[in-house]
Amino acid sequence: MDFLNAIVALSNYVLIPAMSYGSQLALGALGVTLIYGILRFSNFAHGDTMAFGAMVTILATWWMQSMGIGLGPLPTALLALPFGILGCIALVLITDRMVYRFYREQKAKPVILVIVSMGVMFMMNGLVRFIIGPNDQNFNDGARFIISARDFRTMTGLDEGLAIKTSQGLTVITAVGVVALLFWFLNRTRTGKSMRAYSDNEDLALLSGINPERVVMYTWLIVAALATVAGVLYGLDKSFKPFTYFQLLLPIFASAIVGGLGNPLGAIAGGFIIAFSEVTITYAWKKIAIYLLPERFEPDSLVQLLSTDYKLAVSFVILLIVLLFRPTGIFRGKSL
Amino acid sequence: MNETVKNTLLFAVVGGLILLTGVMQSWNAALLILNMGLVSAVMAIGVNLQWGFAGLFNIGVMGFVALGGLAAVLVSMPPTPEAWSAGGGGIILGLLLGAGTVIAAVVLHKRMRPGPGRALALLAVVVIGFFVFRAVLDPSVDAVEKVDPAITGYLGGLGLPVILSWPIGGLLAAGAAWLIGKTALGLRSDYLAIATLGIAEIIIAVLKNEDWLSRGVKNVVGIPRPLPFEIDLQNDPAFVERAAGFGLDPVTASTLYVKLGYAALFLIVLVVLMWMAQKALHSPWGRMMRAIRDNEVAAEAMGKDVTRRHLQVFVLGSAICGIAGAMMTTMDGQLTPGTYQPLRFTFLVWVMVIVGGSGNNFGAVLGAMLIWFLWVQVEPMGIFLLEVLTSGMSDGGLKSHLLESAAHMRLFTMGLVLILVLRFSPRGLIPEK
């Protein structure tokens, strides 16, 4: 019984939150890695792109809520998501046309593009704060839980409850669907193949008649969609606040680099590695230890390796270790 | 119009803008802009050293600035004897153990052969070291933080004159930069960027959470000042008399006097650093740096140790940022970790350097003064602009929303300025020669 309770507590506090956080990071890291693979620079504006897409979705959600449109138990934001994606696509395409294309034609050094993306980040950040304000926005509606802790307890008779939030379930399901779609696109369609070819060897791709501007445009479309989905899922799961999206930049980049920049599979693996490490290292294991250990050994302290305020430090340390021992990432991205 | 005249004119324009603030708003506001402008100019010299001279992409300026601020607390605040006796020794021992664990791991990694044996030994050292470190540190931290938490609850500082914290802040930042540089330099430039971004966030997280060190988000206030307090000046009959001689009331005169004092101190630091940076730029060392920046492979072929030189310039530039941070905290008289924002302390400094002209020290200083002026003044200008724009609209949700959001215009404006400069004048206002 104690053992089962320990497993339930572990799932409730560690596995499920880490799964959904990992999916969100993976979606974010996929966007970063695609930009890196095709446009060949680290896009610092990615966090704020996510915030922008999520913001448009939130505005559409509010409009739908005021019109009385809803999805029953599911959050209305799902219906509003296409609007968010369209808004985000418009934004990134305009940005690309007005800002990045110039440097692409000049064949500017990547570091210049990184600085430019910093400027874009400033502008997007200002835009989001200007439109929706810097505060927390809640836009989650529908049923709060797929299964609540109390229902689980009455169902199984265990002491520990297992709660799965709707947003967590949705995050994982959506992420799986989006990733499957992305890989199907990259591996099976003509456009996807031309993107991979362009990323792999630009000169050879150009020689075989691939239109680089088209590849770049498709990349931005996909990145905008991924960023919006990631931003909305994160906003549903936690809450929407423009500044937190800027702070997501570090774990997202850590995921992309740990997996290997430019490698989509790596981005997904990296997202889960970072998420699971963050959650396990900052979780207080006391509860689980009490179930598993004999009474004499029960700990007095929280058995928490690091306080949750140091979440960022966890992704940072993993990033440093990977950079030191395997600079191209676990899945051998295209770097150096 | 030759170059010197043009540059002098540019500086005159910025000076004129600040004077205009004095005439139009108040001299206190103008001096406030001038003082923070000078501090920003020091930061800009540091970033220019790294980016302009050596092409290193450091976006962790905020962290080094915050370390400088920490130095101001550690140097100048009076020590808390009760806290030291409660857990000072334990904390020092804990920190030494922590450092010892890291050093042991590094030595082990260097000495042992690669293989599973080394991995296991490393893991054992790190895990055991971490738990010993926590076991020694945690009780002492609790004891220290329980000592009169409303007023102290931290170890306090050394009680030395606060000016000393400026060089010490530089040293602290240099130490952190050395650690980061050792690990992340020599990798691709984006990796250095991510690593510095991360370390800056972690330094802020430490300052916010380690109450025993600098009271965390409870803030350290009342840091001793190198200059007299306004209230003392107002009670000093000689000062009041002199102020009356200028036709000023004592309150205004005392605030202006203190701000002018800071301006003079900052100007001395700026001039010294500027002189050193100019000497460095025109020395063989500076030429070597630029050669490395422009073509690493060629420089390496000429026998230059690129990674070492990068480490050197990275440490120097970060130290200058640390000095600026200590100066800023000294002027504020308080350390408030909650106010350190990357957009304000890292990216804004970058905008300053790029707008001013990367690779040119005078450009960096000019950019710092100009951008700081804009940063302060864009907000009232934005509010004014929106008031004009919305004056025709009927009162309602949209109008009040627009007026409320005007404060966020400055981020947008700074991004726009950065992108426009990079596009149309990538060499900045005062280009590198």
Q: Residue A327, exposed/middle/buried by CB under 10 A (0-12, 13-18, 19+)?
A: middle
Contacts of residue B404 in chain A, CB cutoff 8 Å? 133
Q: Look at B347 and A134 and tell me if their CB atoms are within 8 Å.
A: no
Of B162, B166, B161, B164, the closest CA to residue B320 belongs to B166
* Average pLDDT value for residue range B1-25: 90
Contacts of residue B337 in chain A, CB cutoff 8 Å? none
Q: For each successive 10 residues of chain A (336 residues), what is the average pLDDT?
A: 84 92 96 92 94 95 88 87 96 95 90 91 91 86 83 84 89 94 93 90 90 94 96 92 88 92 90 94 84 77 80 86 82 58
DSSP one-letter string for A268-289: HHHHHHHHHHHHHHHSBTHHHH
Of B109, B59, B40, B120, the closest CA to residue B327 belongs to B40
Q: Which residue of A has its CA nearest to B382?
A: A130
Beta-carbon count within 10 A of B294 CB? 10
Structure tokens at B22: 């004095």
Q: Residue A247, exposed/middle/buried by CB under 10 A (0-12, 13-18, 19+)?
A: middle
* A295 domain-assigned: yes
| pLDDT, chain B, mean | 90
Q: Look at B202 and A312 and tell me if their CB atoms are within 8 Å.
A: yes
**A135 — contact with chain B (CB < 8 Å)?**
no
**B411 — contact with chain A (CB < 8 Å)?**
yes
pLDDT at B187 over 70: yes
Distance CA B49, CA B53 (A): 5
Distance from CA of B283 to the nearest CA of A (A): 26
DSSP E strands, B279-320:
none
Distance from CA of A201 to the nearest CA of B (A): 20
Q: Look at A250 and B412 and tell me if their CB atoms are within 8 Å.
A: no
Q: Which amino acid is present at B19?
A: L
Structure tokens at B269: 């630091």
Q: Which residue of A has its CA nearest to B182?
A: A324
Distance from CA of B237 to the nearest CA of A (A): 49
* Residues in B 89-128 with any Cβ partner in A closer than 8 A: none
CATH number for the domain running over B3-79+156-389+399-424: 1.10.3470
Distance CA B352, CA B318 (A): 16
Q: Look at B202 and A114 and tell me if their CB atoms are within 8 Å.
A: no
pLDDT at B408 over 80: no
CA distances, A132 to each of A128, A248, B30, B41, B376 (Å): 6, 19, 33, 33, 23
pLDDT of residue B160: 92
Q: Residue B2, exposed/middle/buried by CB under 10 A (0-12, 13-18, 19+)?
A: exposed
Q: Are A31 and A179 in contact (CB under 8 A)?
A: no
H/E segment holding residue B221: strand B220-221
Distance from CA of B391 to the nearest CA of A (A): 19
Of A261, A272, A278, A276, the closest CA to residue A313 belongs to A278
Q: Look at B412 and A126 and tell me if their CB atoms are within 8 Å.
A: yes
* A85 domain-assigned: yes
Of A193, A274, A195, the closest CA to residue A35 belongs to A195
Tens of pLDDT along B145-185? 888 888 888 888 899 999 999 999 999 999 999 988 888 88
* A333 domain-assigned: no
Q: Bin B55: left if φ > 0, else alpha if -120 < ψ < 50, else beta.
A: left
The ranges assigned to domains in chain B are 3-79+156-389+399-424, 80-155
pLDDT of residue A155: 85
* Average pLDDT value for residue range B197-222: 89
Number of CB pairs, chain A paired with chain B, less than 8 A apart: 130
What's the structural domain count of chain A?
A: 1
Contacts of residue B135 in chain A, CB cutoff 8 Å? none
* Residues in A 73-112 with any Cβ partner in B closer than 8 A: 99, 102, 110-112
Considering just the CA atoms, what is the radius of gyration of chain B in Å?
A: 24
Q: What is the CATH number of the domain that holds A204?
A: 1.10.3470
Distance from CA of A299 to the nearest CA of B (A): 13
Q: Look at B343 and A122 and tell me if their CB atoms are within 8 Å.
A: yes
Contacts of residue A41 in chain B, CB cutoff 8 Å? 190
Distance from CA of A330 to the nearest CA of B (A): 15
* A235 domain-assigned: yes
Structure tokens at B313: 């310039």
Contacts of residue B412 in chain A, CB cutoff 8 Å? 122-123, 126-127, 130
The residue written with tokens 């949700």 in the block is: B397
Beta-carbon count within 10 A of B245 CB? 9
Distance from CA of B418 to the nearest CA of A (A): 6
**A180 — contact with chain B (CB < 8 Å)?**
no
How does strand B334-335 pair with strand B220-221?
antiparallel
**B282 — contact with chain A (CB < 8 Å)?**
no
Q: Look at A110 and B416 and tell me if their CB atoms are within 8 Å.
A: no
* A334 domain-assigned: no
Distance from CA of A164 to the nearest CA of B (A): 30
Segments forming the whole domain that contains residue A207: 2-325
Tens of pLDDT along B226-260? 988 888 888 888 888 888 888 888 888 899 999 99
Q: Look at B189 and A111 and tell me if their CB atoms are within 8 Å.
A: yes
Q: Which residue of A has its CA nearest to B197?
A: A250
* A227 domain-assigned: yes
DSSP one-letter string for A104-173: HHHT--HHHHHHHHHHHHHHHHHHHHHHH-SS-B----S-SEEE-HHHHHHHH--SS---EEHHHHHHHH
pLDDT of residue A333: 64
* Average pLDDT value for residue range B343-360: 91
**B425 — contact with chain A (CB < 8 Å)?**
no
Distance CA A310, CA B20 (A): 45
**A45 — contact with chain B (CB < 8 Å)?**
no
Nearest by CB: A309 against B209, B347, B415:
B209
* A335 domain-assigned: no
pLDDT of residue A202: 87
Q: Which residue of B has its CA nearest to A252?
A: B194
Contacts of residue A254 in chain B, CB cutoff 8 Å? 194, 198
